[in-house]
Amino acid sequence: MFELLGVAPQVLFGQLLLGLINGSFYALLSLGLAVIFGMLNVINFAHGAQYMVGAFAAWMLMQWAGVGYWWALLLAPVLVGLFGVALEKTMLSRLYKLDHLYGLLLTFGIALMLEGAFRHQFGSSGMPYPIPDALKGGQNLGFMFLPNYRAWVVVASLVVCSGTWYAIERTQLGAYLRAATENPVLVQAFGINVPVMITATYGFGVALAGLAGVLAAPIYQVNPLMGSNLIIIVFAVVVIGGMGSILGAIVTGLGLGLLEGLTKVFYPEASNIVIFVVMAIVLLIKPAGLFGRER
């Protein structure tokens, strides 16, 4: 069968595995977007920029404070998350009463400003960030050479994704959150501090973007443009998965990574548009997205 497709099975398995790795990035990023959208109804256009800031935070911690990868993995998302909290408190929270478009424009503007500032400071070629010693090297799987670091990325991303899904869909806190989205006034009446919960949710979503940035730093150049390259794809993933659906974001992220990997084998020139073709088809057939509900 593989011979029929004109591709050796080794190549195919290799590409599928790579697709899974990229898919886990898509999943992690679209998860943050979906959490924010699902709970706050804000379309967080600064997500790509926050992912970039996460990577730069890791670089700055290493360069200026001598903090290594593992601590950066913890500290950088916290810093980026705190930045998100400040953003929500000072600006975003004023826009909830207005049309969603305002939130989108605000976050979009913030993304442009962040990218511009980092480009001004660091240039467009980016900065190198080394792979941590413990994860250097790789395994020869027979059909491909799998770098240890990429394997770690898949594991870390799956753990974070499933953890988040569990926290929101299966715990008491998650139940409060979901209830607060449906009817904030009623939930507040039960004595739950809804504004704090919303701020925390935004901070958490942004921290997820920061975490993805740290995970990406050793693979890609730490580059001011790294977020804008990715954000459009991630938005498409969220649209296909069904907006605000946590499970949809995770499953679609991984699935589209695989699909993109296959495209890179059979028709590489189309690899940057295949996701948008899928988006168009899904929207025609199932306008709410694969896992979404019409509101």
Contact residues: other proteins, CB under 8 A: 8, 10-11, 14-15, 18-19, 21-22, 41, 43, 45, 48, 100-101, 104, 108, 111-112, 115-116, 119, 123-128, 130-131, 137-138, 144-145, 147, 149-150, 219-221, 223, 225-226, 228-232, 235-236, 238-239, 243, 261, 264-265, 268-269, 271-272, 283, 287-288, 295
Q: How far is the CB of 167 from other proteins (least distance, A)?
A: 24
Residue 88 or 115: which CB sits closer to other proteins? 115
User: Which residue type occupies 184?
Assistant: P
Residue 177 or 231: which CB sits closer to other proteins? 231
- How many Cβ atoms sit within 10 Å of the Cβ of residue 125? 10
How distant is the alpha carbon of residue 130 from its chain centre?
A: 22
Q: How far is the CB of 87 from other proteins (least distance, A)?
A: 18
Count CA atoms closer than 13 A to 91's CA, side-chain side.
16
Q: How far is the CB of 85 from other proteins (least distance, A)?
A: 23
Q: How far is the CB of 43 from other proteins (least distance, A)?
A: 5
**Cα–Cα distance for residue pair 121/124, rounded to 1 Å:** 9
Q: Which residue has the tokens 């977020």?
A: 227
Q: How far is the CB of 82 from other proteins (least distance, A)?
A: 25
**Under 8 Å between Cβ of 291 and 247:** yes
Residue 84 or 103: which CB sits closer to other proteins? 103
Q: Which residue has the tokens 């809804």?
A: 194
Residue 200 or 261: which CB sits closer to other proteins? 261
Residue 71 or 220: which CB sits closer to other proteins? 220
Residue 37 or 79: which CB sits closer to other proteins? 37
User: Which residue type occupies 130?
Assistant: P
**Of 127, 103, 131, nearest to 52 (Cα)?**
127
Q: How far is the CB of 210 from other proteins (least distance, A)?
A: 18
- Token digits for 13? 């398995």
Residue 79 or 252: which CB sits closer to other proteins? 252
**Under 8 Å between Cβ of 46 and 230:** no
User: Which residue type occupies 223?
Assistant: N
**Cα–Cα distance for residue pair 250/239, rounded to 1 Å:** 12
Determine the angle formed by the axes of helices 100-122 and 47-65, rounding to 10 degrees: 30
Q: How far is the CB of 276 from other proteins (least distance, A)?
A: 8
**Cα–Cα distance for residue pair 131/53, rounded to 1 Å:** 18
Residue 167 or 274: which CB sits closer to other proteins? 274
Q: How far is the CB of 250 from other proteins (least distance, A)?
A: 18
How distant is the alpha carbon of residue 21 from its chain centre?
A: 13
Rg (CA), the chain: 19
